[in-house]
Amino acid sequence: MNFITAIKNRKTVCIYSGELLNDEHVAIIEEFIRKIQVPFCDKVRIQLVRSNRDNETTRLGSYGRVKGVYEFLAVIYEMAPLAEEASAYVLQKIILFCTNLGIGTCWLIDKFHHEAFTKQITLRHNEVLKMVTPIGYPSQKRRKFTPVMHYADSDDNYRPFEELFFYKDFNHPLFEDQAGIYSEPLEMVRWGLFGINRQSCRIIFDNNNLHFYKLPFEFAAIDTGIALCHFELSCIELKIKGIYAVVKHQLQEDILEYVISWISKQ
């Protein structure tokens, strides 16, 4: 599976053809979900939810953000450390898988009709339903639309490399030619989905290890989960060895919060 290509190719799809996914695609996606390993936390589950396109009262809604689609993937997580980041990681990995199948997706963060979804999803104690994506075939029709969370269509919308990544501390920017084998994985992080273009994740490069931090914004945990997904999948594809681990790396920063580290095994 070429995830780097999927990261580069993936676009938000808001208008769908109105067709249901064929049985082959449904089976492939469900098999991928069954085999997926949730990182950082075991309190996450994924569920395929179908809307009745012939009955408006049971139709799954998104406040007009997406149209012509009747199948959704929902990620449900129990409140726990790193659970929100893990949920975003898992959903993004599935989204990239769908991209390689030619299936459209669109991140929806709380901007959907929760009551309609919870008629099909039984939430357990302390569980949260915050993230869903439609999955369907893109329509040939196009319209301009900017959801609350979106992929930029141009590299101009992303922050420069040296504004997101730093060397040893937040006082020294990291430039792409300093990142060595991690230059492409970090670039794939830069190409990630970020809340209202705030790009809430920051990374410190230190002795070939990388430390992930987040800013105190509404979607920061989701931003960071997607960044962790893009980074690890790119490393795996490029045969760069390492693991995620929580270590003692909190710098004296009033705003940024330490999340997790990539420990090199090269």
Per-residue exposure over 172-202, b if at least 16 CB sit within 10 Å of its own CB, e if not: eebebeebeebbbbbbbbbbbbbbeeebbbb
What's the rounded Cα separation, in Å, for the pair 84 and 103?
24
User: Residue 117's pLDDT is what?
Assistant: 84
pLDDT band at 193 (very low <50, low <70, confident <90, very high): low
Which residues make Cβ contacts (< 8 Å) with residue 141, sequence separation at least 6? 15
For 204-245, what is each residue's pLDDT tens digit?
999 899 999 999 888 899 999 999 999 999 999 999 999 999
pLDDT for the residue 57: 44
**pTM for this structure?**
0.90
Is 212 exposed, middle or buried (CB count within 10 Å of its CB: 0-12, 13-18, 19+)?
Answer: buried
* pLDDT over 80 (residue 52): no
Spell out the domains of the chain, with CATH numbers in brackets.
Answer: 3-134 (3.40.109.10), 152-264 (3.40.109.30)
* pLDDT for residue 153 is more than 60: no
Sign of the CA dihedral 263, 228, 187, 215?
Answer: negative
What residues form DSSP beta bridges with 173? Answer: 166
- Average model confidence (pLDDT) for the chain? 87
- pLDDT for 151 beyond 50: no
- For the segment 122-133, the average pLDDT, to the nearest whole number, is 92
The predicted pLDDT at position 199 comes to 81
